[in-house]
Amino acid sequence: MKLSLSLFALLCLTYEIVSIAPFLRGFFPDPVKHPHVHPRKVNISGIQIILSPSDGRPYQGRLIIFSGFLNSNICVLSYVCHQALTTGSIPGFIDVVMNLNSPALLEDNLIWQTKSAGKQIIFYGDDTWVRLFPKHFMEHDGTTYFFVSDYTEVDNNVTRHLDGTLKRDDWDILILHYLGLDHIGHISGPHSSLIGPKLMEMDDIIKKIHASLISKESEGTLPNLLVLCGDHGMSETGSHGGSSEPEINTPLVLISPTFRRKLGFEKLGVLEQVDLTPTLALGLGLPISKNSVGDLIPAVFEELSLREQLRLLQINGHQVSRLLQDSNPTFHKEDGYEQFHVAEKSHGSWMKLYLDGNRSEVLSNMGKKVLKQYLEALKANIWGSDWTLSELDVLLLIGTVGHTLSLGSSSFIEEEHQTWYFLLNTLCLAIFQDVCRKYFREQRGEEEVEGPLLPSSTEKGPSFSPALELGMSLGSEKWLALATPLLTLTCCRLLRSLNQTRVQWAHLPDFGHQLNSGDHKAFLSLLVAVSLVLIFLLVQHHCSLVSKIALALGLLGVYSYRAAVGNVLFPWQHRSRYPSPSKGTVEAQFIYVFVLGILFTGLKDLLRLQVMSSAVESRRLKSRGLWEVYSGMVLLVALLFRAHNLPTLACCLLIQTIMAQFIWKKLHYDAAQTTIMHYWFGQAFFYFQGNSNNIGTVDISVGFVGLESYVEAPAVFLTTLSTYAGPLLWACHLLCFLSSQRDRAVMGLGHGSYCFALLRSIPAVFYIVLVTLLRYHLFIWSVFSPKLLYEAMHTLITTAVCLFFTFMDQERSTRP
């Protein structure tokens, strides 16, 4: 069968369209939606409060929405703007297509809630509303939106209903959408001579509506509310659909007898379009739309009692937090979320005093502070509607990208350790800033409210605190957290002087050379002994009793091995100017037995997870098994490290411990941030060991530790492990840390593995391409080629680490 060219072209186009459709579906994300909002009960400082969508109490009577003129950052097209105004949600980008043929809005919205509450709605104007909300209006008269050349009849068709409708008492909400001003903009722009007369016409209509509402005010009735707003603005050419300031910024005017009389207009600042939805819903005593991400406008309810204002803010915050909990697994880690729960806690304490009959000025001041807390939590945008980068995120991003780009310079490759030292120092300063912000600025604000509001007698059970576990007060914990970055900086500065890794000045003596000289053997012996004791104390607390004993004996064997090879002195050994060192083979082989025993114990615990039915017991076994594997690696590294490098290992473990206890746990860094920090520390400790990008710095002598003759496989393994001990230990610590955090996201290990692989893959791929382009460079063999070997081996090791990550993540995902 012969296929015609036209049919072939048609098939190709069909295939292309079918392929593009799922791509577009995946490229444009769905808006954040919540399946349902259920009332729930929470216990706040001993008071049980039912959190329902709304209390059902209206604060406003009749509502008139006059639309023909709010910050519309999310949309400037009619359909999506109406959707944002009524649902309080941010429409998806694909909804722009729906602007030409608006379907019925099936999402929970203010109009549907109003109709369900039995309120009567009348609408006149843009027929987009009628298509969005069919059968929702008791009376409507729509005008076609797309006849933009008509700017007179479209408005007259609305105005002709006003006189009769304003005299009637059978409606609760009147929506008027005038199109004339928008059409004039499309025809001749915002500076047209037609704009002035049209605005005067709108002024007269608003005056008529306001006068009618005032005339119907009576004693005992709820106050009416007139809302003057616009769904979008217009550009200098009269169009809309872009993101320029004139297109997205429009006025919002609220007029009601319930507001205090003011001499002029009060500027409330910039509000979001979605903020109007929860404000109108609570004002009418209706539930907030399930998918609304808007914040309550506080000025609308400032005349209510303090108790009612706090209640409305609590409802608003609870609704939005429930919405985005489903879309962001790490939502509870956000600072704003913590602020909201602090506000809820303080609110419960305030309510307890209020219900006890306390009406003092002190109570009023406390209530205002709680109100401020709610507003700050809402202002912090805690529910993830906007994605922003913190200062730490910017540092991590710039540092990672900057290091990758620096590989294009031969000088930066030779002195790469300087790049990592600089990044690590900057990271410590950034962490110190975060600690100061947490313990001084934010905690001060919490103590101002929680001090008098939350008596200690009402607290039930202390929360987890590393300081309490160590027998210290919370004040001590604060100062230890503040000292952690500074102590880390001090350790890093001392380690920089221990080994000379500079390519150009490698021949100069460093602190390590001085320690290895015969004149300082006693001091080196003391330093090694202290380092081994510190290593044991830092590692043993997560291990079983058997592993602790094996670890202690193994570290004692490390000292014996170093004494046997002549690096250190035993206390009872007679000092001799020329000692005759032995090979230390027997001592090293005994240490290998202890290492294998600890690793076997840890792997046995991990394998037992497959048959465990109890989730609590499986978590305990998993944590202990991972830490025992980690402690076995530490013991092996301690054997392989030269005597003067054991303080490097001790400092590595010390920094890991204090950072985990007082920084990563307390500041709630996410998995990606924690992974990048571990990667940076691992890279820095690669150079702290004395390594460089020169093949000559590889210590091949470790390949013979415990071996009487050369055996290729063990020698390669031991040399590789010793060379990359820093990155490996930090990667293993990352796995242990992420697995031990119960409150981490379920995908914490997966995110960590993905981020770790990405951090290694990007520079590796970049460097391979770079070396290919620079294959004729003068330093291709002396600088770029050795670095290529290091990159290849590092990538291979990272692959093995990520494989272990994946295994543990898969095991975790299969647990109930």
**pLDDT tens sequence across 235-245:** 776 677 666 77
Query: Cα–Cα–Cα angle for 368, 369, 374, nearest 5°?
Result: 95
pLDDT at 792 over 50: yes
**Band of residue 317 on the pLDDT scale cut at 50, 70, 90:** confident
**Band of residue 535 on the pLDDT scale cut at 50, 70, 90:** very high
pLDDT for the residue numbered 61: 58
* Cβ contacts of 18 within 8 Å, gap of 6 or more: none
**Band of residue 633 on the pLDDT scale cut at 50, 70, 90:** very high
pLDDT at 14 over 90: no
**CB-count exposure of residue 586 (10 Å: 0-12, 13-18, 19+):** middle
Does residue 649 contact residue 641 with C-beta atoms inside 8 Å?
A: yes
pLDDT for the residue numbered 378: 76
- Mean pLDDT (the chain) is 77
pLDDT for the residue numbered 403: 92
pLDDT at 22 over 70: no
- Of 492, 475, 342, the closest CA to residue 431 belongs to 492
Does residue 654 contact residue 538 with C-beta atoms inside 8 Å?
A: yes
Tokens, residue 187? 């025809």
* Most trustworthy range by pLDDT among 340-344, 459-463, 595-599: 595-599
**In the 8-state DSSP scheme, what is residue 811?**
H
pLDDT at 319 over 50: yes
pLDDT for the residue numbered 592: 93
pLDDT at 658 over 70: yes
Of the two residues 673 and 190, the one the predictor is more confident about is: 673
Span 643-658, average pLDDT: 93
Furthest-apart CA atoms within the chain: distance in Å = 115
Span 180-195, average pLDDT: 81
CB atoms within 10 A of CB 611: 7
pLDDT for the residue numbered 460: 37
**Band of residue 268 on the pLDDT scale cut at 50, 70, 90:** low
Span 405-411, average pLDDT: 90
Q: Give residue-wise pLDDT tens across range 478-511.
A: 888 889 999 999 999 999 888 876 656 556 677 7
Percentage above 70 pLDDT, the chain: 73
- Of 405, 422, 807, 386, the closest CA to residue 610 belongs to 807
pLDDT for the residue numbered 577: 46
pLDDT for the residue numbered 21: 58
pLDDT at 345 over 70: yes
Q: Give residue-wise pLDDT tens across range 355-401.
A: 888 777 778 888 888 888 887 777 765 444 445 567 888 898 999 99
**In the 8-state DSSP scheme, what is residue 176?**
E
Beta-bridge mates of residue 249: 71
pLDDT at 599 over 60: yes
Does residue 385 contact residue 89 with C-beta atoms inside 8 Å?
A: no
Of the two residues 696 and 784, the one the predictor is more confident about is: 784
**In the 8-state DSSP scheme, what is residue 103?**
P
Q: Which of 259-273, 332-346, 630-644, 692-706 has the lowest average pLDDT? A: 259-273
- Of 719, 692, 687, 688, the closest CA to residue 703 belongs to 719
Long-range contacts of the stretch 666-670 (C-beta < 8 A, 24+): 666/438, 666/466, 666/477, 666/481, 667/431, 667/434, 667/435, 667/438, 668/333, 669/392, 670/330, 670/333, 670/745, 670/751
**Band of residue 447 on the pLDDT scale cut at 50, 70, 90:** very low
**Cα–chain center distance at 569:** 51
* Most trustworthy range by pLDDT among 310-324, 494-508, 657-671: 657-671
Buried b (16+ CB within 10 A) or exposed e, 39-69: eeeeebbebebebbbbeeebbbbbbbbbbbb
Percentage above 90 pLDDT, the chain: 17
**Band of residue 557 on the pLDDT scale cut at 50, 70, 90:** very high
Tokens, residue 424? 């690590």
Q: In the chain, where are the structural domains located?
A: 52-287, 472-813
pLDDT at 528 over 60: yes
pLDDT at 657 over 50: yes
Span 113-131, average pLDDT: 86
CB atoms within 10 A of CB 94: 14
pLDDT at 67 over 80: no
**Cα–chain center distance at 411:** 36
As a whole number of angstroms, the distance between CA 149 and CA 147 comes to: 6
Of the two residues 663 and 608, the one the predictor is more confident about is: 663
pLDDT at 227 over 80: yes
Of the two residues 580 and 169, the one the predictor is more confident about is: 169
Q: Which of 23-32, 143-152, 674-683 has the lowest average pLDDT? A: 23-32
Buried b (16+ CB within 10 A) or exposed e, 245-260: eebbebebebbbebee
- Of 763, 683, 694, the closest CA to residue 729 belongs to 683
Torsion of CA 7, 10, 12, 14, to 10 degrees: -140
DSSP 322-362: HHHHTT-TTGGGSHHHHHHHHHHHHHHHHHHHHHTT--SHH
Q: Give residue-wise pLDDT tens across range 736-783.
A: 888 877 655 445 677 788 888 888 888 888 988 888 888 888 888 888
DSSP 446-494: HHHHHHHHS-GGG--SPPP-HHHHTT--HHHHHHHHHHHHHHHHHHHHH
pLDDT for the residue numbered 178: 87
As a whole number of angstroms, the distance between CA 52 and CA 39 comes to: 4
* CATH level 3 topology of 52-287: Alkaline Phosphatase, subunit A (3.40.720)
Beta-bridge mates of residue 175: 65, 123
* Cβ contacts of 812 within 8 Å, gap of 6 or more: 622, 739, 746, 749
Span 91-95, average pLDDT: 53
Q: Angle between the 646-659 and 521-539 helix axes, to the nearest 10 degrees?
A: 30
**Cα–chain center distance at 809:** 20
- Of 49, 40, 45, 50, the closest CA to residue 460 belongs to 45
Question: Does the pTM of the predicted model rise above 0.75?
Answer: no
pLDDT for the residue numbered 679: 95
